[in-house]
Amino acid sequence: MSYNSDSSVQEIQEVHIHRDDFGSKMGMWLFLFTEILLFGGLFILYAGYRFIYSEGFAAAATELDVLLGTINTVILLTSSLTVVLAIVALQKENKKLSLFFLWVTVICGLIFLVNKYFEWGAKFHHGVYPKGPALQNMSEGEVMYFGLYFVMTGLHGLHIVVGLIFIGYVMRQIQKDVITSSNFQKLENSGLYWHLVDIIWIFLFPLFYLIH
Amino acid sequence: MRPNIVDQVDQTFWLIMGISIILLALITVVMIYFVYKYNRKRHPVAENIEGNTTLEIVWTIIPVILVLIMFFVSWAGFKNMRDVPKDAMVVSVTGQMWKWTFEYDNKKKSDTLFLPANTNVKFDIKSIDVNHSFYLPAFRTKEDAIPGRVNHYWIRTNEPEVYYAACAEYCGLNHSYMYAPVIVIPEKKFIEWKNYTPPDTTKSVTPVKTDSLKTDTLKTGAVNSLNKDTLKTGSVKTDTIKPNSVKQDTLKSK
Amino acid sequence: MENNHHTEEQNDGHIAEAHHPSYGINILVWIGLLSLTAITVAVAGINLGSLALTVALVIALVKSMFVINFFMHLKFDNKVFKIFLGICMITFIVVMILTFFDLTFRI
Amino acid sequence: MANGTIAAVPQTAEVNFYNVRTKHKGILSWLLTIDHKRIGIMYLFAVVFFFLVAMTIGVFMRLEMLTPGETFMKPQTYNSLFTLHGVIMIFLFIIPAVPAVFGNFFLPIQLGAQDVQFPKLNLLSWYLYVIGAVLALTSLFSGGGIMDTGWTFYVPYSIRTTTNVSLSVFAAFVLGFATILTGLNFITTIHRLRCPGMTWFRMPLFAWALYATSWIQVLATPVIGITLILIILERAFGIGIFDPALGGDPLLYQHMFWIYSHPAVYIMILPAMGVVSEIIPTFSKKTIFGYVPIAISSLAIALVGYLVWGHHMFSSGISDTSRVIFSLLTFFVALPSGIKIFNWVATLYKGSIEVTAPMLYVLLFIFIFSIGGLTGLVLGALNTDLHLTDTYFVVAHFHYVMFGGMGIIFFAALHYWFPKMFGKMYNEKVAKTAAVWIGIGFNMLYFPMFIMGYLGMPRRYYDYLPEFQKYHVFATVGSWVLVSGIIIMYINLAIALKRGKKAPDNPWGGTTLEWKTSSPPIMENFKEIPTVTTGPYDHSITESQEVKK
Ligand code: HEA
Ligand code: HEA
Ligand code: CUA
Ligand SMILES: [Cu+2]
């Protein structure tokens, strides 16, 4: 094989991309840590302001709809389950079932977003938005609470959208048999991401909806 | 009698500096000596030395001791700085873009800080717009003026003298012109001044709005568009105040 | 795969064989998670005062441990990932504590 | 398949990663490359460009400070310039400098790997860097003009000023992501791609330093990411998080900012320390003294570096308790740095030392960085900091550690690895002259600032009291000496690039793996994957084949 034949050049370039599932998973986990600390910053702010304005926070928390929050929690937990099941199904070489589970995940994610849309919409309708008329009359603690509420749930929602795109891409790859029962690290990575988004919600839910 | 804050700061400074200079000299001299002695021309074949545990322990323990000394000395000074004497006279200091306003216990306001000699003074430091920092170089201390908070520190004045206060936290266009004269006068004169209200003082003293400013007022007030000269009037001209008019020798370490 | 010379984390880089989970255990975990959600919502109804925050956070912590260990597979994974996660969490907690040294002791 | 290809790379030295035939031709062979060496070179040119831009701004600032009052610019211009100077230096130069340039180029080679773990991600990092840079440049000519907040973006000023803060801050956010991805890539690379026989404690210390750095990048950068986003949201929508007018706490902003930015100063210095640990053994012809302590101290610096951010807030009104804790911890962060310094000096003992240009820079570094670090202790002390904070003393401190630390080592690394990266030799005499100029100019420029700071000259001041003028004049003149040194250095390297003699594979007699491949390296780095049997700096077994120049 001579080095200046085109095919060898082709190969030289390809050697770079060797497959290392373990490394790929490690990269994903490291990325998740940056996500954890991205939200971590907000959690520190939340804790700080909750400490400074405990009454304002308690008052504001009553204005969120616990039922809606609970429903969304259940939806996300379920979607997390279906991602895992999709991995199991693919490992058992059941491509159809795997895709089905992923569809359930995507639909759950979409329902979550629709719920959020209505929740935010209701808040906006009542003038609860930054600089909104309702907020002008609230105490500083409540203003902080809603500021954090919009930022944190908003950022979380953004992560749901990104997760959905990621899963959509993975589904296409499964369809095209790029991701298979012996090569499913990408599916697992998308799952890891999705679970992280779920875990963040597991904390957001009590912090914003439950503790008065 | 409490130790003087200025002296304490200077002593801590020179203590740490002293240790540092010795260490630096040691490192530099040893380094240059090695480079000279073991130069390839004189010492063509190196001896392989992997390390030495005793040495590692020594140069961990000694610095630990040194830094602990530094820490405790500075802590002692700090405690003194934070522990305000009960008899301290309180002056409320308000920073705003780009001037200082001082308010005394009898509500008298001024943009020059008059202080009685040989007195403990506590400053309550506030801001009504952005962060500033109330810095008295001659007294070796400062504390930021943060909107929504009241910070404080105290000093002890000496004999009558003219000093200045500067703003040490960046606050926009005229940050570097936010000086205020600090004039220490004999106690009797000070009380006279404090209780004297000239009929037209209100004109020269800008009333300070204490309610919090809304974001918008500042934005339209164009943080940018003021020019240097309009602002300089009203505040002190730079050349009228002698900085560190504390005599040169007080500045140097004692 | 010449260039896959992994000196540690012993495996050839392909982890397909590592562990075969089943549907069952995951569904069990899911049921557990739902029950914990029910509990935390129910508890929120009772007035626990200052304890409410602690209880809610403990439950949330337990829930996330479930998700991490089972759904995210950490329990069955290589030790490095556990250490990594530990580093990340310790960093976060320490930063939180140090911030609170300021907030708690402000006058 | 990999096996066959590597063997197929011919023995002729002419084939290297510059002229190997790649899939794409011309400029595309660079812009679409996933080769870590090419990406490293692209970073090099981008980083040097911004370094020169920010340095030029610095020289203008010095010129303005020559006389009190207006010398040749208005206050608003000055305020924008020091902001720009700080932002470019920090986010576009010093944080990516050594990791992204030399880390990218040499980490895989030193590990005996063919590339980083995620080559495509690596290219993405570069593009994020470029996008961030373009956004930063765009912000200069759009919106309300050049940002004037200082590189710390303190609220509430940053929320209120009419200048173009949002876009610049967003640029910093994007640049942050570039460094996160680089860090993530390096950690995985170090875990996965060490060649056979290279155990953790046979890794070069540069790799150890990058490992520690990468962890900080991954775990600290997101905190500033979200903080900057919050500034944008506050400016755009008036969401109250930090704005005191709405009940926000400006001190929490400062906490968030320094939770990142203090660890970030160790992102800046750790890779430089790694480079020092490479250069000293090479030119002393002996193994490093105290390999393990140096490696561990990198991790220790990274670790303790997380715990001291409050020392930037001593005067801001944080609680007295936390000031005491942060101060104590600050003193402890000095210990691992000290251990490194002592071990480096000890390495010289009974060596066979050759003072080449890179070595000269390293010696300069030890001197200058020690000054910078030791003055950091005065700033970490509780009572002295209240006097010195936000004065020129701080400005002097951080230029000594940043420019005297990372900046000088950037030059050292450039000279040390120049033959390997470009396959050319530079003029050693001129390089050394430049180093001496830089050393003199540097100290003339920044040393007076310590004195000014102690006498009470606040930083970020457009104008100053006349009594400070003599120091300012001295500093400004120093900046000209420094400029001439740096210009000589760059011209020397530029000439070498064009007309330099061909470099041998191992011009210095180095022992780490990058010296065992050709200069410049071939596309796959090694003809065959090396196997390592000893520590990284074992000079006893190097064949004396090196070509003395
Ligand atoms: C490369 C960047 C870098 C590095 C490495 C450091 C290193 C250190 N810095 Fe610095 N610092 C900055 C960059 C850096 N800093 C910047 C940019 C700012 C200003 C930000 C701004 O406001 O804009 C700043 C500001 C700053 C402050 C805040 C000042 C203020 O605004 O009030 C403080 C206070 O504690 C501080 C302390 C230290 C200490 C203790 C170290 C230590 O890590 C130093 C350790 C090294 C040594 C001590 C020297 C070598 C050791 C020995 C010779 C051993 C023997 C010594 C003993 C242990 C006794 N720095
Ligand atoms: C790596 C970091 C780094 C480096 C290397 C430098 C380098 C320099 N800096 Fe600094 N500086 C900062 C980081 C850095 N700076 C930061 C973070 C701040 C704080 C900002 C803030 O307050 O927010 C600061 C602030 C700062 C101030 C304080 C401003 C104030 O508070 O009012 C000053 C003042 O003198 C200054 C000056 C300089 C000078 C003269 C240089 C010199 O090193 C420059 C030397 C320049 C040369 C030697 C140029 C040579 C090249 C050319 C002339 C170009 C030729 C052109 C071509 C060939 C194309 N800088
Ligand atoms: Cu006020 Cu600076
Ligand atoms: Cu710091």
Q: Say if A3 falls within a structural domain.
A: no
Tell me the CA–centroid distance for residue D164 and ligand 3, in Å. Answer: 20
Residues of B in contact with D161 (CB under 8 A): 172, 223-224
Per-residue pLDDT for A170 more than 60? yes
**Across C54-63, D474-483, D520-529, least confident range:** D520-529
Residue D490, pLDDT > 70, answer yes
Query: How distant is the Cα of C100 from the closest Cα of chain D, in angstroms?
Result: 8
Q: Provide the token pair at D87.
A: 């932002």
Estimate to the nearest angstrom the gap between the alpha carbon of D270 and the chain centroid: 8
Question: How many residues belong to chain A?
Answer: 212
pLDDT above 60 (res C1): no
Predicted confidence band at A211 (pLDDT cuts at 50, 70, 90)? confident
A106 lies in a domain? yes
- Integer angstrom CA distances of residue D455 from D82, D191, D315, D450, D465: 22, 50, 18, 9, 11
Tokens of D411: 């030059």
Distance from CA of A203 to the nearest CA of C (A): 6
For chain D, the domains span 4-532
Query: Considering the domain boundaries, does residue A201 fall inside one?
Result: yes
At residue C53's C-alpha, the angle toward residues C47 and C58, to 5°, is 115
Whether residue B175 has its Cβ less than 6 Å from ligand 3: yes
Ligand 3 pocket check for B169: Cβ under 6 Å: yes
Closest among C74, C72, C77, C67 to C34, alpha carbons compared: C67
Chain D residue with minimal CA distance to B237? Answer: D465
pLDDT at position D412 over 90: yes
C-alpha–C-alpha distance, residues D358 and D348, integer Å: 15
Domain extent, residue A133, equals 23-210
Binned at pLDDT 50, 70 and 90, residue B199 comes out as low
Preferred mutation among C35, C47, C88, C95 to probe A, highest tally of A CBs within 10 A: C88
Residue range C87-100: average pLDDT? 94
pLDDT of res. C21: 65
Higher pLDDT, B1 or B224: B1
Instruction: Tell me which residue has its CA closest to atom 1 in ligand 3.
Output: B132
Give the chain D residue nearest A11 (alpha carbons): D5
What is each CA distance from B97 to B169, B231, B238, C76, in whole angstroms?
Answer: 11, 10, 17, 60
Kindly report which listed range (A74-78, B215-219, C52-56) carries the lowest average pLDDT score.
Answer: B215-219
Q: What is the Cα–Cα distance from B74 to B9, expressed in whole angstroms?
A: 8
* pLDDT at residue C19 in the model: 57
Do the beta carbons of residue B169 and residue B132 sit within 8 Å?
A: yes
Q: Among D188, D227, D243, D529, pick the best mutation site for testing chain A contact (most A Cβ within 10 A).
A: D188
Query: Residue B250's pLDDT is what?
Result: 32
SS (H, E, C) D462-490: CCCCHHHHHHHHHHHHHHHHHHHHHHHHH
What is d(CA D122, CA D434) in angstroms, rounded to the nearest whole number? 33
Nearest to D290 among B56, B228, B239 (CB): B56
Interchain pair B56, D323: CB under 8 A: no
Contact between D125 and D185 (Cβ < 8 Å):
yes
Mean model confidence pLDDT for chain A: 87
Say if residue D366 is exposed, middle or buried (CB neighbours under 10 Å; 0-12, 13-18, 19+).
buried
Sole residue written with tokens 């997390």: A80
Percent of chain A beyond pLDDT 70?
A: 92
pLDDT band, residue D247 (cuts 50/70/90): confident
Can you tell me the mean pLDDT for C10-31? Answer: 68
Report the percentage of chain D scoring pLDDT > 70: 96
The finding on whether D379 has its CB within 6 A of some atom of ligand 1 is yes
Among D113, D197, D306, the residue with its CB nearest the CB of C95 is D306
Q: Which residue in the set D191, D215, D255 is minimally distant from C99, CB to CB?
A: D255
Q: For D286-315, what is the mean pLDDT?
A: 93
Distance CA A109, CA A87 (A): 18
Q: C-alpha distances in angstroms, C54 versus A23, A40, A203, A207, B103?
A: 37, 18, 12, 11, 45
Question: Is A8's CB within 8 Å of D5's CB?
Answer: yes
The span from the CA of D63 to the CA of D479, in Å, is: 9
**For residue A107, is it within any domain?**
yes
pTM here?
0.90
pLDDT of residue A20: 86
Mean pLDDT for chain D? 90
Q: Residue B93: enclosing H or E segment and its boundaries?
A: strand B89-96
Total domain count, chain A? 1
D455 close contact with B: CB closer than 8 A:
yes
pLDDT in tens, B52-107: 899 999 999 999 999 999 999 999 999 999 999 999 999 999 999 889 999 999 88
Which of C4, C5, C84 should one mutate to test binding to chain D, selecting the residue with the greatest count of D CBs within 10 A? C5
Q: Which CATH superfamily is domain D4-532 in?
A: Cytochrome c oxidase-like, subunit I domain (1.20.210.10)
B34 φ, ψ (degrees, to nearest 5): -60, -45
pLDDT at D14: 64
Task: Read off the pLDDT of each residue in A154-163 and give the average, rounded to a whole number.
Answer: 95
Is residue B184 a contact partner of residue B158, using CB atoms and an 8 Å limit? yes
Mean pLDDT in residue range D213-242: 92
What's the pLDDT tens digit per position in A173-194? 999 989 888 888 999 999 999 9
CATH number at residue A73: 1.20.120.80
Examine residue A123 and state whether it is found in any structural domain, yes or no.
yes
Instruction: Answer whether residue A9 is part of any domain.
Output: no
* D346 pLDDT more than 70: yes
pLDDT for position D546:
43
D contact chains, 3+ CB pairs < 8 A: A, B, C
The residue that leads in pLDDT, D299 or D1, is: D299
